[in-house]
Chains A and B, each alone.
Chain A
Amino acid sequence: MKVDKAKAIALIKKILSAEKENLKTKAYNREQMAEKIKKMIEEEVRKCY
């Protein structure tokens, strides 16, 4: 799979934003947060690759 770096960086920013928000709200625990990121990645792969 050839990864598009610009798209990957855009996703990273999205993930970091979610992490930052979670540090404030503490809405998700570690496992839930990992699951959330996993879904973001799966969605991105499904959509772009």
Chain B
Amino acid sequence: MGIICPFFLGYQKGAVNIIVCLKQILDPEIPVRDFHVDGEKKEAVRGSANLVTNIFCENALETALQLREKLGEKSGCRITALTFGAEAAEDTLRKALAMKADAATLVINDGHPHPDPLAVAQTLAAAIRKIGEFDLVMLGRESGDWGVAQTGGLLAEELGASCVSFVDHIEASDDGPDAGLIVKRQTDNGWEKLTAKPPLVVTITNNEFNVPRIPKTRDIMMSARQPITKWTLEEIGVNAAEIRTGGNYYEVVDLTIPVKEVTCEFVSGDTLEQKIEKFAERIIEITRAL
């Protein structure tokens, strides 16, 4: 039924349909000494590292949850968590459900482990069209692994939607549903506020208010039993072969760990005061030479 209902009809009824795209990545917090790359495959070696949800994606989900809370129970606002990843990415969706997303969809990636950003955007766009209706698509501004920072922009183009980046807050306009949403985003030296009409894609950055909530134990347990929609690439109507191979947008030709040669000089002295004096002298020495 949702498929035949145009998005704006849904919107005017006050029901905002939100899709939050999430990405599962190698835990970016692993120490440098445990980090290795596979020069042949041109990707990081997983080793003992955990798989986690990219933090900006969780900021995006948190921002969506807060918007739903502000709109209220009766608004009918619905949040669908969507990911394109390996079977293991189901964990990311379980966590999203535990945080109280309404539904979850996994598009299974059985091809290249790091598809190029256009392949990702085409896949997400096809999945979103299959989900049916949306007003707002929310993504993290970039991922903690490849940090490509293009999925949002490319997805907006694939969907023919407008796009705002580096958003950290969204609210419904006081001027009624026709006025759309009020979006606040960070800029190089401050912020901007925008009015935005759906369909809209936003990329989310972090601030002090969208730190992802910790799901309740009860909700974690419940999320294990909730259904997750799983689609293959064939089922969403993309050129599956092309997406599996990837690399017709760009190709990673080399991946290396840079060698750093810096030795820290710990300032010495018998007393704290002497050490600090040395420290101050070094600072003055450097700043005078600038």
A, B co-complexed: no
